[in-house]
Structure 1
Amino acid sequence: MNTVHLPPLFTAMLTAGADPFEAACTAARQGCDAGLVTYDISADRLRAAIVFAPEIALTHAMVMQPICGIGFQNALGTLAPPEVSVHLEWGGALRVNGAKCGTLKTAAHPADPAQVPNWLVVGLDLTLWADTQDTGLTPDVTSLYAEGCSDVPAGDLLEAWVRHTLSWINRWDEDGVQPVHSEWTGLAHGISDNVTVNGLTGTFRGIDETFGLLLQPDGPAQIIPLTHTLKDVS
């Protein structure tokens, strides 16, 4: 699919084999407008990224990552068979029917949590098909088409991802973070599980108002800010 149809204020740019996340970060550094969507679709992979221009400190602007996760879940929910489930990991991983199928990653500049970033980019990397096994990769890793979604066109999924992400951005803008918090928590993978984050192991107790991870090791709970998941693209 060479062209995609996006909502007003979004502009599509095909990266033709190049990494859309890196392309979006480069375009953002060069001063592109917010709403640029870079993408590359191959037979086995869908990669895309959206450029944002937040007007709030990065700590709060990181809400774009969970919003993009919710947008993906909503998008696939409209296109996939009803039995297909999507769950979201705090660090950005996307799970389809319980197994990892892709990831979201975020970069921003400057990366100081207290500053308003000049730009923020959220990237999507989704495995459509893996030819190592007909039914997936390992019990914990899968591909979209191995999970009964072979009739979902990647281009349609990309368009739906942007539309549903925009819908949630509008809801966040109008109603605040609480609806996003509630929706994401309902889709979260791993709450109450034992996890290791930034070298700390403990129980994943949930998220705070800025989507920091509440981790309870042997002692008082600690908050790991979502900004700790930022990718270094300097």
Structure 2
Amino acid sequence: MSAEVTFPPLMSGEAVAPGIDPFDLARQRAELGVDAGLVVHDLGATTLRAALVLAPDVPLHKAMAMLPVCGLGFQNALGALAPPEVAVHLEWDGGLRINGAASGRLKVAASDTRPDTVPDWLVVALTLPLWPEGEGGQTPDQTALFAEGCADVSAPRLLESWARHCLHWINRWDDGDMKALHDDWRGLVHGIGEQTTCAGHSGTFLGVDEDFAMLLRDDKTTHLIPLTSLLVQD
């Protein structure tokens, strides 16, 4: 799919060549010192993929809030374009849900994995299936954008909207508006109060702390699982 994509001020775009993963290229660009705000993207026929380069000025355990920030950006972006009956929810680990079914995810990488170190860069990547794979009904717990009443949602416009809404929430986070960020995210997160397994622990997902670390309660104790445990390190 080839289409013009317009990004807001302070952001820029780079379309990848066929066969190139935007997440990989964004990390390469970040290593070379590209300016923050670059959105590397691939508007494929069946999948939307994009990766946003950021340059945090806080320790990594604080900067990891960019994962829920970009999740909120996605929900707001699709909410602005999709029919009102389409529901979008977020999973703590970056998974995305449309009308209750899994549909794509966010993932994150950084130049340094030490929680108390300020990383040189952080990259948050979005993968969203546009069309379902295989025969309908084979994977009822998974879905794709155009299978959920969103056939009129243009992938280029969704990418633009995601970038704008991410920038909006990044600015609010930068201004210290953590209450709004937590309140809005908590209203969208999937699975709070339910049993789950994460980082080798199983228990009840109670919520998150101020840095969005998961609070997971088992029979004996409450485990604190930081967002840094989700960093992609390959």
Q: TM-score, normalised by structure 1?
A: 0.96
Map of 1:1-234 to 2, 5 A cutoff?
1-17=2-18, 18-134=20-136, 138-233=139-234
Structure 1 contact 2–14 (Cα < 8 Å) conserved: no
Structure 2: how far apart are the matches of 1:113 and 1:176?
22
Deviation at 1:87, TM superposition (A): 0.3
Cα deviation digits, residues 32-84 of structure 1 (max 9, x gap)? 11011000011110000000000000000001110000000000001000000
What SS does the aligned partner of 1:187 have?
coil
RMSD: 1.1
Unaligned runs of 5+ in 2: none
Structure 2: how far apart are the matches of 1:174 and 1:33?
21
Structure 2: how far apart are the matches of 1:63 and 1:39?
22
Cα deviation digits, residues 161-220 of structure 1 (max 9, x gap)? 000011111111224322111111110000011000011110000010000000001112
Structure 1 contact 211–225 (Cα < 8 Å) conserved: yes
What SS does the aligned partner of 1:72 have?
helix
Deviation at 1:137, TM superposition (A): 5.0
Structure 1 contact 24–51 (Cα < 8 Å) conserved: yes
Unaligned runs of 5+ in 1: none
What SS does the aligned partner of 1:84 have?
coil
AA matched with 1:186: G
Deviation at 1:111, TM superposition (A): 1.2
Structure 2: how far apart are the matches of 1:138 and 1:193?
22
Structure 2: how far apart are the matches of 1:173 and 1:54?
10
Structure 2: how far apart are the matches of 1:179 and 1:220?
29
Q: Which is further off, 48-57 or 167-176? A: 167-176
AA matched with 2:159: L
Structure 1 contact 130–137 (Cα < 8 Å) conserved: no
Structure 1: how far apart are the matches of 2:138 and 2:62?
36
Structure 1: how far apart are the matches of 2:175 and 2:28?
31
Deviation at 1:131, TM superposition (A): 4.1
Structure 1: how far apart are the matches of 2:29 and 2:150?
32
* Identical columns (%): 53
Structure 2: how far apart are the matches of 1:109 and 1:212?
20
Cα deviation digits, residues 110-153 of structure 1 (max 9, x gap)? 1111000000000000000024134x651211011111101100
Structure 1: how far apart are the matches of 2:169 and 2:75?
12
AA matched with 1:114: D
